[in-house]
Amino acid sequence: MFALCDKMIAKNKLKPHRKLFGNFTFSCFEEMDVIPKADWDLAIKDNNTFLTYSYLNLIHQQRTDNFRFRYVIIYNALKPIGVIYFQINDFSASLFGELIAHQINELQSKRASVFQKYIQSNEHETIMRLVTCGNNFISGEHGFYLDAASKKNKFKIVEGVIEAVAREEKLRGKISAILVKDFYEEGFGDKDCWYCTRFIHFNVEPNMIVDLPQGINNLTDYLNSFSKKYRNRAKHILVASSALVKKRLTSDEIIKHDDRIYELYTNVFNQAKFKLAHLPKKYFADVVKTQPELFYMDAWFLGDLMVSFASGFYLPEEIEAHYVGFDYAINKEYELYQTILYSYIEEAISSKKQQINLGRTASEIKTTVGAKAHELICYIKPQNTVSKLILKPFMQFLQPTDWIPRNPFKEEV
C-alpha cells in the first residue's frame, strides 16, 4: 500500500505544469540536467545572479544524500514567469545536538532534559529535515523570483509551491520544518502575509550594507568623510597591511593556488556559527569560469605565501561580497580582515557602484568601515509536535548576537 503510494507521489511531483490557481502552473525538478534551461533562463532573465542556471549548477555539485535541491519553474498560461529554489538538509541527532548544545543547557526544564536524552540515544538518526526556500550559503532574498501581476499573486504562488514540496518531502521522510529566508520587512517579509499560514517569524543576523556618499572618487575621499578617530584607525590598518602584496587572480591562478585558497576558506568556515556543507575545492575556479564578467577574486601575499583572499560579484548597482579566507594567526598583525573590508569599498568606488553588500556576521566590525545594518526576517513552520520542541532551541541558536553599532562618519552640523 505505502510502496504504491510512494510511487504515485514520485510520479506526480515530477509531472510538468501542475495546477496552482487561475492560469498559474509549476514544474518541479530534482536534477539540473533535466531542467528546461531555456524556460529557466527566460523566467529569471537577468534579475538575480544567484538564481541563474549557471550559478545554481555550481551549488548542485554539493548534492549528497543529506543535502538535496528542488528547482521549480512557474508558468502563467504556459509562459515561464518565475522560479523558486529549495535546499533540503537532513540533520543527524549528533550534528543537531552539537549546533544547539548551548541553548539546551540554558533551558532548565523537563522538556529540555527529555530532548537531550533523545538526541543522545539517537545520535546517528536523522532528527531534523529542514526544507529551505532560499539559499543557505548566501544572505538575502534568493529563494525565488516572480514576474507576477501582484504581490498577492506572488504570495499565493510561493505558498502553494512550498506546501506541495513540503508535503512530498514529509511523505518521504521526517520533515521537521519549512524555512523561508531572507526578507527585508518592507518587501516580501511583510508579516501580515505570513501570519495566516502558521509560519513563525524571527530575526537573523542583519545584512551589513555600505552606501557610498556622493562625490567619492577614491578610498582617500571615502576616509576623509570619517571622523578623526576612525580616519586614524583606517590609516593604521593601511599601514599594517602595507607589507602585503595584493593581486587580482586570474582563472589559472585560482586553480594554481586552490589548495591554499581552500585552506584559508576552511579557516573561516570553521569559525562559522552555522555550518551546512563545505564548498567543493574547485568552487572558485568554476565560478570564475562560468561568471567571468561578474565574479572576481583578490588575494594578498606575504612574500610568496597567500595569507588572505576576498571574492565578490559585480551586480548592477552594487558589489556583493562573497566568500573570504585568511590566516587567523597573523590577522591582527597585518589587519587582514579589515583590509578585506576596505578592499570591497575600494572596488565599489573604482567600478562606479553605489553600494557594497558585506553580508552577515562580524556586524560591529563592519560598522567601523561605514556599513549599516539592514534587518532580515525569516519564517519557519514546524510540521509536527516533536519539531515544535526542536525548533525552540534551534531558533534561539539562529538569533542575532548582541553587538554595538559604530558610526565612523563625521557628525553632521
Q: Report pLDDT digits (tens) over 130-186.
A: 899 999 888 888 999 999 778 888 888 999 999 999 888 876 666 688 889 888 876
Q: What is the CATH number of the domain that holds 77?
A: 3.40.630.30
Q: Classify residue 370: in a domain, yes or no.
A: no
* pLDDT at res. 345: 98
Q: Classify residue 23: in a domain, yes or no.
A: yes
Mean pLDDT along residues 98-125: 56
Please tell me whether residues 251 and 146 are part of one structural domain: no
Better pLDDT: 150 or 95: 150
* pLDDT at res. 104: 52
Interaxial angle between packed helices 2-13 and 151-172, expressed in degrees from 0 to 180 and rounded to the nearest 10: 150
Residue whose C-alpha is closest to residue 236's, from 380, 140, 334, 132:
334
> Can you give the residue range of the structural domain that contains 333?
213-353
Please tell me whether residues 104 and 230 are part of one structural domain: no
- CB contact set of 64 (below 8 Å; sequence gap of 6+): 277
Better pLDDT: 124 or 153: 153
Alpha-carbon span 338 to 18, nearest angstrom? 50
Q: What percent of the chain has pLDDT over 70?
A: 81
Looking at the 3D structure of the chain, how many domains does it have?
2
Alpha-carbon span 413 to 362, nearest angstrom? 30
pTM above 0.85, yes or no: yes
Mean pLDDT along residues 80-98: 81
Give me the phi and psi of 250, to 5 degrees please.
-80, 170
Mean pLDDT along residues 246-262: 96
Q: What percent of the chain has pLDDT over 90?
A: 58
Does residue 201 sit in helix, strand or coil?
strand
Please tell me whether residues 45 and 14 are part of one structural domain: yes
The DSSP element (H or E) to which 44 belongs, if any, is: helix 37-44
Please tell me whether residues 147 and 89 are part of one structural domain: yes
Please tell me whether residues 273 and 150 are part of one structural domain: no
Q: Classify residue 362: in a domain, yes or no.
A: no
Q: Classify residue 359: in a domain, yes or no.
A: no
Q: Classify residue 409: in a domain, yes or no.
A: no
- CB contact set of 198 (below 8 Å; sequence gap of 6+): 381
Residue 221 · residue 381 · CB < 8 Å: no
pLDDT class for 248, splitting at 50, 70, 90?
Answer: very high
Q: Classify residue 63: in a domain, yes or no.
A: yes
Alpha-carbon span 51 to 47, nearest angstrom? 8
Strand ranges, E, within 315-371: 318-326, 355-357
Mean pLDDT along residues 295-307: 97
Please tell me whether residues 268 and 386 are part of one structural domain: no
Residue 5 has pLDDT above 70, yes or no: no
pLDDT class for 193, splitting at 50, 70, 90?
Answer: low
Report the number of secondary-structure helices (H) and strands (E) in the chain: 17, 14
pLDDT class for 127, splitting at 50, 70, 90?
Answer: low
Instruction: Render pLDDT for 6-65 as a digit per residue (tens, 0 to 9).
Output: 454 555 667 889 999 999 999 999 999 999 999 999 999 989 999 999 999 999 988 888
Q: Classify residue 185: in a domain, yes or no.
A: yes
C-alpha 260: how far from chain center: 24
Please tell me whether residues 269 and 195 are part of one structural domain: no
* pLDDT at res. 8: 45
**What secondary structure letter does DSSP report for 276?**
-
Instruction: Render pLDDT for 276-297 as a digit per residue (tens, 0 to 9).
Output: 667 888 899 999 998 999 999 9
Mean pLDDT along residues 218-228: 96
Alpha-carbon span 283 to 254, nearest angstrom? 10
Residue 73 · residue 132 · CB < 8 Å: no
Q: Classify residue 360: in a domain, yes or no.
A: no
pLDDT class for 93, splitting at 50, 70, 90?
Answer: low
Please tell me whether residues 199 and 221 are part of one structural domain: no
Please tell me whether residues 162 and 224 are part of one structural domain: no
Least confident range from 83-97, 202-216, 258-272, 358-372: namely 83-97
Mean pLDDT along residues 358-362: 91
Please tell me whether residues 324 and 188 are part of one structural domain: no
Please tell me whether residues 171 and 281 are part of one structural domain: no
Alpha-carbon span 170 to 126, nearest angstrom? 13
Grid cell listed for 324: 573570504
Residue 286 · residue 335 · CB < 8 Å: no
Please tell me whether residues 27 and 168 are part of one structural domain: yes
